[in-house]
Amino acid sequence: MNCGIIGLPNVGKSALFNLLTENNARSSNYPYCTVEPNTGIAYLTDKRLDKLKEVFDVQKIGYPYMDFIDVAGLPPGASKGEGLGNQFLSNIRDAYCLLQVVRDFNSPDVSRFEPSSSTPVRDFELVDAELFLADLQIAERRIEDNHQSDYWNKTRSRLMRQERPEQDRDGVLLTAKPMIVVVNITTGSEKPEFDREKVIYTDIKFLEELKAMEPAEREEFKDMNSSWESGIDEIMFKVKDMLDMVTFFTVEGGREVKGHNIKRGKSVYEAAGKIHSDMQKSFVKAEVYNYKQLKEAGYMPRKLRESGKIRMEGRDYKVKDGDIVKVMFGSP
């Protein structure tokens, strides 16, 4: 499952994409610098893995990851094809969730798309309106194909009232996707209020400068200002929450501790397939305990085993966040 990054031109989308994915997508001071979508993976820095590396004395850490897609700025009229808008909207139809970046910074080096009337809330509403119009076009086309569709008739009515619809089974409606608003704000500025459940305020330019520091200098700064690191981490963990995913851990070959993201409620049999397809095909059972239990035991797996807290689970066991899993399997 991936997450799409959207917003007006020149608000910091590609810069945020680069920070998340450690990629080098083009980021310039003119609209539509991004024509083809940028795709990349972002690793979720889970501090539990650092501790597990120490506990099991292994050499490597495999952090869990998420997929992101960065599309060009969506101007007013995108739903009608302005600025190649239809092409860009189609690139995020398959995204499971969305990050909408809005601008709340002033810079003589980065022009505003609509300088005379731009505010963070208005910019959000402009893009949101384009998503509603694009979805309304989808609904009307589906009704043309099936006039009797109760779902699409109700969906069209909701969209015309600017009400967010329930998602269709193909997941194509943009306004029904979970969304986080990322306000790209100058550090120390007053935060604009949004009538949204999930809003993150972060200074993308500052995070770029932080990333450019020498490692020792960056670590010293983060030690003195620990909250700054939360900019990207907070976004990643909120995306994980929107995707409704949990992280389980494995110790592979005595060489690597690894984190795996999986949809909440999935079974350990399905989790085995995330590790390796052969494990799922020949699954027998799984040895399971949780990171919290390991912490309570002083990070000593031996104590858990001696106290009988390491369980053997069958294929229907539902994996929980923080589970440490060892899959027992036969010959494929």
Domains and CATH numbers, the chain: 2-241 (3.40.50.300), 265-329 (3.10.20.30)
Mean pLDDT of the chain: 85
CA-wise closest residue to 124 among 74, 79, 54: 74
CA-wise closest residue to 248 among 200, 209, 289, 301: 289
Average pLDDT for 61-86: 72
Higher pLDDT, 280 or 110: 280
Tokens found for residue 114: 């609509």
For the cut 50, the answer to whether the pLDDT of residue 217 exceeds it is yes
DSSP element (H, E) containing 291:
helix 291-296
Tokens found for residue 230: 């939360």
Question: How far apart are alpha carbons 160 and 133 in whole angstroms?
Answer: 9
Give pTM, 2 decimals: 0.81
Q: What is the pLDDT of residues 92-132, one digit of tens each?
A: 888 899 999 998 876 655 555 555 566 888 889 888 988 99
For the cut 60, the answer to whether the pLDDT of residue 33 exceeds it is no
For the cut 60, the answer to whether the pLDDT of residue 270 exceeds it is yes
Inter-residue contact 285 to 328 (CB < 8 Å): yes
10 Å CB burial of residue 66 (0-12, 13-18, 19+) is buried
The least confident of 96-110, 159-173, 233-247, 305-319 is 96-110
Across the beta sheet with 38-43, what order do the strands follow? 38-43, 65-70, 2-6, 97-104, 179-185, 199-202
Q: Which long-range contacts (CB under 8 A, 24 or more apart) does 149-154 make?
A: none
At residue 112, the pLDDT reads 55
Q: How far apart are the first and last CA of the chain?
A: 28
For residue 67, which amino acid is it? D
For the cut 50, the answer to whether the pLDDT of residue 153 exceeds it is yes
